[in-house]
Amino acid sequence: MVINLKFDNSKKDKKKINVKVVATSIVAITLIGIVGISIGRFSGVNKLKTGPILDTVTSVQKTFNTGFVFLKDNLEELINYKKNAKTIDSLKKEKEELQKEVAELNNKLDEVESLESLKKSTSFIEEEYKAKSISAKVVGKNDGNWYKTFVIGAGSSDGVKKDSLAVNGSGLVGIVYEVSEHYSKAISLLDTKSSVSFKLLKDANAKGVITQSTNIESQEDYKKNGYLQGYMFDASYDVLPGDVVVTSGLGLYPEGIPVGEVDKVIDDKNKSLKYVVVKPYVDFKNIDNVTVVEPRNIG
């Protein structure tokens, strides 16, 4: 018995047709979905619920834009770095040059002020001594704040002699006690070895002596403040705070050189003395230049 088996080829064709249809449908649906997403994005309608996808795309886009801006800004800085560096170097050089100019101007100003001060100091000197005076710088001093002893940059080769006077634009500074060829040493009125006869400007008859070797109360406090001390020759002299004190002309110092103003008057009735505390005109913390005057011959 023969059995004829037949295969239905139509089913195979149907299977082939179904696969093609399915593939075509998938492509069509995908395209429709993309179009729908685009329409929903721009129209505000999002029926396909594409929010998460759009959010992801938007986030990536923002990150990309931020990165682009960062790179752009930093690229510009890198490009201009050399230019900015050159500008900074140029400004630094200009600043240094200006600082040098300011320093030079300050030095010139100090020199002018010193010259004016020394010029003024000659007005304190009697006419017969002006021709025997020289100007010199102070090149050294003692330790501490006050100029008690100092070195003058002029010596015997410049005409400086022992006992020569030292003055500046404010008044009497001190006296020379040692002279070498090119330098001289002097003591100021603050030194205990120094003394000078004075008179009151308001009354030439009221005379006394400036000396740091007094026995007045609180004398050390006055010394610490740079004040001068002394006493009147006569306790009956009328002396008041504010009275101007000048050299009297007795001894080595010519008459009329300013010394300072009376700050305090102290009566010592036990010793029948009238002490005076004098605030000097000279700034004994700052002495740059002096006029050195040849001493008078009183021998």
Residue 67 lies in a domain: no
CA angle 166-297-151, nearest 5°?
25
**Cα 91 to the center of its chain, rounded Å:** 21
Residue 14 lies in a domain: no
Domain that holds residue 168: 127-293
- The distance in angstroms from the start CA to the end CA of the chain is 179
pLDDT at 132: 78
142 in a structural domain: yes
Q: For residue 162, what are its two tokens? A: 């022992």
Report, as ranges of residue numbers, the positions in the chain whose pLDDT lies below 70: 1-82, 101, 103-122, 126-131, 298-299
Q: Answer yes or no: is 173 within a domain.
A: yes
| Phi, psi angles (nearest 5°) of residue 222 | -65, -40
Q: Is residue 83 part of a domain?
A: no
User: Is there a domain that residue 172 lies in?
Assistant: yes
User: Which H helix or E strand runs over 26?
Assistant: helix 9-43
Task: Identify the pLDDT of residue 214.
Answer: 86
pTM equals 0.61
How far is the C-alpha of 296 from the C-alpha of 194, rounded, in Å?
A: 17
Q: What is the DSSP string of 218-281?
A: THHHHHHTT-EEEEESSTTS---TT-EEEE-S-TTSPTT-EEEEEEEEEEETTTTEEEEEEEES
Instruction: Give a yes or no: residue 42 inside a domain.
Output: no
Check residue 116 and give its pLDDT: 65
Q: Specify the pLDDT at position 104.
A: 65
Question: Quick one: how many helices (H) and strands (E) in the chain?
Answer: 4, 12
Burial 202-236, CB ≥16 within 10 A → b, else e: eeeebbbbbbbebebeebeebbeebbbbbbbbeee
Q: What is the CATH number of the domain that holds 223?
A: 2.40.10.340
Instruction: Write out pLDDT tens, residues 229-259.
Output: 999 999 999 999 999 999 998 888 888 999 9
Model pLDDT for residues 110-151, shown as the tens digit of each residue: 555 655 666 666 677 766 666 578 899 999 999 999 999 999
Asked if residue 82 belongs to a domain, the reply is no
Q: How many domains does the chain have?
A: 1
- Range list of β-strands (E), 61-202: 133-141, 149-152, 165-168, 171-179, 184-188, 195-200
